[in-house]
Amino acid sequence: MVVKLEKPEQYKEFLDKFDVFLFDCDGVLWSGKDPLPGVKKTMELLRSSGKQVYFVSNNSTKSREDYMKKINAHEIEAKLEEIYPSAYSSAIYVKKVLNLPEDKKVFVLGEGGIEVELDRVGVKHIGGTDASLRCAVTSEDLDNIRPDPSVGAVLCGMDRHVTYKKYCMAYQYLQDPDCAFLLTNQDSTFPTNGTFFPGSGSVSYPLIFSTGRTPKVLGKPNDEMMEAIVASVHFDRKKACFVGDRLNTDIEFAKNSGLGGSLLVLTGVSKENEIYEKDAPVVPDYYINSLGDLANVA
């Protein structure tokens, strides 16, 4: 039974039910460059009530430090150890789960956030922001592509500088069945300033199509993201609630991770009518017009 939170007494009952709140960022705390009304007050209320707060994003372009600066710029308190972007969870996966040998490297189809987090956990990498890959490609260039035999994984994330040359390099590495194929997340789009653009899943699709391989997805809605979180902080999942704006990533993530609850806000991707559609992929336990509304608790 989906519950729409509309009254102050409902807000209080909802907040009293959970000890831990995990938040998506874009479309929940802000939209584009603009903070969403009332969010600062809601976050202050949670802190003053002794709630644990974490920030979980599929955005792989930013490191934890980048995210902390952005969250703080909106006058929302955030500590480094509370922030889990997909670049970080992916780096943790490569290091601790994949156990990539020290003599192996990761080819990155993505941006600087991934590189920063791989560096932080001591994983070697190539590709990524390498300026030599940001160029048009001639037939001669293709003839001269020589894969690095030390590459043991291809990690794909959002890449706003994606080029055919990057795809060619990644494709060559993925011809080796022992080379791991990893995605930071599979979001088809991302929201900004009231509109949408192709997301990480769209960037990676040419490789999925051309190689015929199925990648391991490390971000929401997969539980690998939650495993990266609980590897460093401990809490009762049944007393935790995920707050997001997207049914097929945020709310599904809450279900896949066995959290006690999920809250959909209507300030981002998913809209109210989608909750009640017969083919809705998953539905939230609660939904609300805006996260800022919770500040009006009774």
Is pLDDT of 187 > 70?
yes
* Beta-carbon contacts of residue 31 (< 8 Å; ≥ 6 apart): 191, 192, 193, 194, 267, 268
Could you confirm whether 223 is annotated as catalytic? no
pLDDT at 124: 98
**Annotated binding residue at 19?**
no
So what's the architecture of 3-58+221-296 in CATH? 3-Layer(aba) Sandwich (3.40)
Matching residue, tokens 């929940």: 28
pLDDT at 193: 72
**Annotated binding residue at 166?**
no
Which amino acid, residue 103? D
Q: Can you tell me the distance from the alpha carbon of 18 to that of 107, in angstroms, rounded to the nearest whole number?
A: 40
Q: Can you tell me the distance from the alpha carbon of 254 to that of 232, in angstroms, rounded to the nearest whole number?
A: 18
**Annotated binding residue at 26?**
yes
DSSP 63: -
Is pLDDT of 298 > 70?
no
The active-site residue out of 16, 24, 143, 178 is: 24
Q: Can you tell me the distance from the alpha carbon of 103 to that of 92, in angstroms, rounded to the nearest whole number?
A: 17
Query: 3-state class of 216 per DSSP?
Result: strand
pLDDT at 191: 72
**Annotated binding residue at 293?**
no
pLDDT at 135: 87
- How many beta carbons lie within 10 A of that of residue 50, not counting itself? 7
Are the CB atoms for 118 and 154 separated by under 8 Å? no
Superfamily of domain 92-217: HAD superfamily/HAD-like (3.40.50.1000)
Give tens-digit pLDDT for 17-43: 999 999 999 899 998 788 999 999 999
List every span in the chain annotated with CATH 3.40.50.1000.
Answer: 3-58+221-296, 92-217
Average pLDDT over residues 257-282: 94
Give tens-digit pLDDT for 238-253: 999 999 999 999 999 9
Query: Which tokens hold the place of 295?
Result: 């500040």
Q: Can you tell me the distance from the alpha carbon of 5 to that of 216, in angstroms, rounded to the nearest whole number?
A: 36
In this structure, of 7-11, 122-126, 132-136, 175-179, the range with the lowest mean pLDDT score is: 132-136
Average pLDDT over residues 293-297: 95
Is pLDDT of 221 > 90?
yes
Query: Which tokens hold the place of 120?
Result: 């932080």
In DSSP notation, 222-263 reads SHHHHHHHHTTS---GGGEEEEES-IIIIIHHHHHTT-SEEE
Are the CB atoms for 193 and 32 separated by under 8 Å? yes
The active-site residue out of 26, 159, 250, 285 is: 26
Smallest CA-to-CA distance from 227 within 98, 66, 110, 48 is with 98
Give tens-digit pLDDT for 51-87: 999 999 999 999 999 999 999 999 999 999 999 999 9
CA distances from 92 to 15, 16, 116, 224, 232 (A): 31, 33, 12, 10, 11
Are the CB atoms for 25 and 59 separated by under 8 Å? yes
pLDDT at 245: 96
Report the percentage of the chain scoring pLDDT > 90: 84
Helix segments in 49-163, DSSP class H: 64-73, 86-92, 112-121, 139-143
- How many beta carbons lie within 10 A of that of residue 155, not counting itself? 32
Q: How confident is the model at residue 288 (pLDDT cuts 50, 70, 90)?
A: very high
pLDDT at 175: 97
**Annotated binding residue at 90?**
no
Give tens-digit pLDDT for 115-155: 999 999 999 999 999 999 998 888 888 888 899 999 999 99
The model's pTM: 0.88
Could you confirm whether 26 is annotated as catalytic? yes
- How many beta carbons lie within 10 A of that of residue 80, not counting itself? 10
Q: Can you tell me the distance from the alpha carbon of 191 to that of 249, in angstroms, rounded to the nearest whole number?
A: 13
Mean per-residue pLDDT over the chain, rounded: 94
